[in-house]
Structure 1
């Protein structure tokens, strides 16, 4: 699945909003305005979703709670691609439930765009985007911030990020240099227990990607992330954590065409991460991998893909083999059936291994978790305006990492669990009644088996949605006025279902674009994380000034 976030910039306030359009992707949000959120896909835990930026890892080695600390503003994004199911064959660790890849935009014109708005709960938002495009080069510089005094005490936030991306072409191919950073401070009331906590994270990211001829590319990415956590906001000296984690990745990828009906994709991947923390200690690890994927296809008839990855972990004492297999077949001119299966794994984060606070203990002896998953489905294309699909999926996890306890008086303890299984059905329907109008419906049903708990309480195993549905409608009137509304209905395991209704309107023609956004118009009281309430009805509006010059 791919969501074009750059196609209509007023549709999504945060990256989480773009991901919510996929009913198989469930967002467990703690802070409004994108302050902190987790991603789960097909029932997998938030730690089992790999997050990429332009194909490079930005998963956080300290804690996967920070995976969506995106250093690049949403305004600089072109699209978000979501892979359902195991993706470790191509991408390595963390890709058990799926992969989310954020793709930055490539400018095609000179422009300057300024936006400012305000809204409920003391909300304020500003952004600036400047682009330039030449025959063989382009440049895009973006900065954005949003803040709020909070819809309840100790739920204020301030988010800032900025990026600059340069591209140019040479005899070798395209060179891409990206520099980005973020700063997020937020009240964390009840985020990790019954405490009025406060947290501030900062992130820096740099990457360089270089084409080496038509079929080969090389890339390098570096990420640094800091996390300052205060347990009691009114008494910072009582308990505080300061973490600094760094990670790097270097890849070489090649695509070798095999005639007109196939290709061989292969490459080498090396990566490492480290942490310096007053709570977690000082640790580092490295790993390297080689992978290959054979892709064969016959246009509008069939396709077959088989891949294998061998990952060697620190010290060479252990390796992980990750295979996958996928295929599709057109049983009729408008009907395609497909199936896929694969293996995914995840190394424990440093929090899983070494964390300790008044309520939680990690375990340095945790094993990596893994999962076999598969799906089969059918796609139907009755006409050029309509698409429909249905998918059955299944996943069985081994050594899954969770935090459990016997009763409310005990500490949460990190542990490995076996016997976790998830199965479900994804269904979607897309229809374009007119050239400007779009209707999207989606519904994912999920069931899980948690026989490994044996009556223990769990932090994450029981948080999955058994039902997650969405209805989205959008239209552009008179080629100038854009309207989009989406209604989502979610029901977490053993919880009541709840609806959330959002609405966006904007003038998209000309150089002055007033906009209006209403969030949770239904004023639903709900929680996506236990004991962390989400905001009620809120409104925001503003104006964007966009000056453009075609090259």
Structure 2
């Protein structure tokens, strides 16, 4: 395969520049997990939560959020192609419909299909950190957080700044991003704002896999006074791509074009022991899908979905602990030539309380109650118990119930490869976990056992066939029950080994094992459930060479329940990452592995990209 390294050259007018300081090195013990109500320091959370910091985002060999998440223990990222064109996120054996994606606590739920929840309109360089909550989060975020939740956190800078990146690589790959911070001083305060744009494109790594992805993201906010803050967010992403093998191997000329828009406005009141936040948001997703790219008259689906939501979240601190409460209302609509015109509404009520007792114990319990007109009221209790052994060690356990309503695609979608099933019932699960955390002097260790028992699991099945490709159509069905259980072991050590010319700064290693006890009719072929991870090993080494050169090596071994295992290694090198002018180069799939992550998409063999970065402040 012909290799092409394209390094764009940018010419800037000369002006005063100050090097950006490495403010991305953060003690996780000081990080506050940004749930919508009760906020807890990372080292006091009785859950298995992973945090991807800004520094990790910058130095990971990745061009998209999906690729960054693929190095997170317990997270199963199944990409169709490269650079985040489309990627499904599963947590602890859960499917892409069972994971909730959020931006600053605002839900990116798509009623059409979970394939669209990763249509994040934020350039990677504009993300401050990512919080991954593993296990049921319905009590905290609502019914969509079935197996876990991923919260993308952005920050409004206090001072002016500009970051520019441009890159190129194999498969005609090219792209750029511009992230700017533009605070404005007004007579009554400082209005903080940031604007980010990015564009990525490629000719594709195999037949009909070209893509174009453009993002625009704006965020603004200000403190009205010591008690009140307003904040707004607007984002738009446009994605068009050849979809060979995305959903079926019977039509290699599939094509899709997706546009996602998100807008929100929030007000926060905080004074002494009271915190209240109200917000409203709107998310629109337009999806055009063709079975034959150049013959739209053969088979074309057009879907437009809208989500409108209002939320109230609050907490009250008293001598008895912290009380959290919330109320949400959401309306989901879709207009589609295939799914029809559909509409549904939800009402959710949150209540929880956290106390600390006997010096080293803390307990948190609550319930989320959801009303949906077709199924009535459903209640999802949950509780967490933690014991702080000492400043470094913590034991914890938790329990939670979760619930997921079928998507419009599962209920009504039909094409030459798929059948609908309007008789589907919601999924329900009971989950618990036990864990141990240790953190001291740069060492972080966590060991977790988890168990999730699901009733009425929804999966796409079809009858097997000796004919290739299989002519039988897929259909979603409620499987009677399935139990996922497993262990996760994660180790991360910050180091300073070596000399000034070579310093080993960090090593990490994690292992995940998942077992699925699935009960279904014999002889059926499963699209999602039996493709969950069984073994996952992730290893990483970060080092510093001389003064300004950083090297990050990541390796993964993935074995799924019904697919061939594979091993991948990726490498990234950064030169002058925090200085005014920098250079980076990445190599993916260094081992030249032949593998498939999702659908029928043959992932690329070894490939390269490189680029430059400019930091102004």
Tell me if TM exceeds 0.5: yes
Asked whether the equivalents of residues 120 and 237 of structure 2 are also in contact (C-alpha less than 8 Å), the reply is yes
1:41 aligns with 2:91: yes
* Residue of structure 1 in register with 2:607 after alignment: 538
Deviation, 1:299, is 9.5
Alpha-carbon distance in structure 2 between the residues aligned to 1:7 and 1:423: 29
Q: String of CA shifts for 1:55-94, please: whole Å, max 9, x gaps.
A: 1111211111111011222222111111111111121122
Q: 1:351 aligns with which of 374, 386, 409?
A: 409
Alpha-carbon distance in structure 2 between the residues aligned to 1:104 and 1:300: 34
Asked whether the equivalents of residues 351 and 366 of structure 2 are also in contact (C-alpha less than 8 Å), the reply is yes
1:174 aligns with 2:229: yes
* Residue of structure 2 in register with 1:208 after alignment: 265
* Residue of structure 1 in register with 2:77 after alignment: 27
Q: 1:257 aligns with which of 317, 321, 325?
A: 317
Partner secondary structure for residue 353 of structure 1: helix
Task: Name structure 1 gaps, 5 residues minimum.
Answer: none
Alpha-carbon distance in structure 1 between the residues aligned to 2:545 and 2:55: 19
Q: Please say which of residues 166-175 and 59-68 is displaced more in the overlay.
A: 166-175
Alpha-carbon distance in structure 1 between the residues aligned to 2:560 and 2:57: 31
1:227 aligns with 2:296: no
Q: String of CA shifts for 1:330-375, please: whole Å, max 9, x gaps.
A: 3455432110110111111110110010111111121111111110
* Residue of structure 2 in register with 1:323 after alignment: 381
Q: String of CA shifts for 1:409-453, please: whole Å, max 9, x gaps.
A: 432111111221111000001111129812111110011011123
Asked whether the equivalents of residues 379 and 390 of structure 1 are also in contact (C-alpha less than 8 Å), the reply is yes
Match runs of 1:451-466 below 5 Å: 451-466=519-534
* Residue of structure 1 in register with 2:217 after alignment: 163
Match runs of 1:305-324 below 5 Å: 305-314=364-373, 318-324=376-382
* Residue of structure 2 in register with 1:365 after alignment: 423
1:434 aligns with 2:488: no
Q: Please say which of residues 94-103 and 297-306 is displaced more in the overlay.
A: 297-306
Asked whether the equivalents of residues 175 and 211 of structure 1 are also in contact (C-alpha less than 8 Å), the reply is yes
Asked whether the equivalents of residues 6 and 75 of structure 1 are also in contact (C-alpha less than 8 Å), the reply is no
Deviation, 1:487, is 0.5
Deviation, 1:10, is 4.4
Alpha-carbon distance in structure 2 between the residues aligned to 1:346 and 1:463: 20
* Residue of structure 2 in register with 1:59 after alignment: 109
Deviation, 1:298, is 5.1
Deviation, 1:236, is 2.5
* Residue of structure 1 in register with 2:548 after alignment: 480
Task: Name structure 2 gaps, 5 residues minimum.
Answer: 1-49, 466-470, 498-502
The structure whose RCO (Cα within 8 Å, separation 6+) is larger is 2
Deviation, 1:379, is 1.6
When normalised by structure 1's length, the TM-score is: 0.95
Q: Please say which of residues 383-392 and 40-49 is displaced more in the overlay.
A: 383-392
Q: Compared with structure 1, are the counterparts of its residues 7 and 298 closer, same or farther at alpha carbon in structure 2 (3 Å cutoff)?
A: farther
Alpha-carbon distance in structure 1 between the residues aligned to 2:59 and 2:191: 27
Alpha-carbon distance in structure 2 between the residues aligned to 1:46 and 1:312: 23
* Residue of structure 2 in register with 1:504 after alignment: 572
* Residue of structure 1 in register with 2:476 after alignment: 414
Partner secondary structure for residue 9 of structure 1: helix
Deviation, 1:213, is 3.1
Partner secondary structure for residue 569 of structure 2: strand
* Residue of structure 2 in register with 1:3 after alignment: 52
Q: Compared with structure 1, are the counterparts of its residues 331 and 213 closer, same or farther at alpha carbon in structure 2 (3 Å cutoff)?
A: closer
Q: 1:522 aligns with which of 554, 579, 591?
A: 591
Q: Please say which of residues 89-98 and 440-449 is displaced more in the overlay.
A: 89-98
Q: 1:99 aligns with which of 131, 149, 155?
A: 149
* Residue of structure 2 in register with 1:130 after alignment: 180
* Residue of structure 2 in register with 1:395 after alignment: 452
Q: How many residues align?
A: 545
Deviation, 1:319, is 1.0
* Residue of structure 1 in register with 2:301 after alignment: 241
Deviation, 1:492, is 0.8
Alpha-carbon distance in structure 2 between the residues aligned to 1:49 and 1:104: 20
Asked whether the equivalents of residues 198 and 229 of structure 1 are also in contact (C-alpha less than 8 Å), the reply is yes
Deviation, 1:258, is 2.1
Alpha-carbon distance in structure 2 between the residues aligned to 1:6 and 1:13: 14
Q: 2:345 aligns with which of 286, 296, 313?
A: 286
Q: Compared with structure 1, are the counterparts of its residues 505 and 300 closer, same or farther at alpha carbon in structure 2 (3 Å cutoff)?
A: farther
1:341 aligns with 2:390: no
Q: Compared with structure 1, are the counterparts of its residues 21 and 38 closer, same or farther at alpha carbon in structure 2 (3 Å cutoff)?
A: same
- CA-atom RMSD in angstroms: 1.7
Match runs of 1:78-89 below 5 Å: 78-89=128-139
Q: Compared with structure 1, are the counterparts of its residues 442 and 220 closer, same or farther at alpha carbon in structure 2 (3 Å cutoff)?
A: same
The ranges of structure 1 where at least 4 consecutive aligned residues each deviate by more than 6 angstroms after the TM superposition are: none
Deviation, 1:144, is 0.3
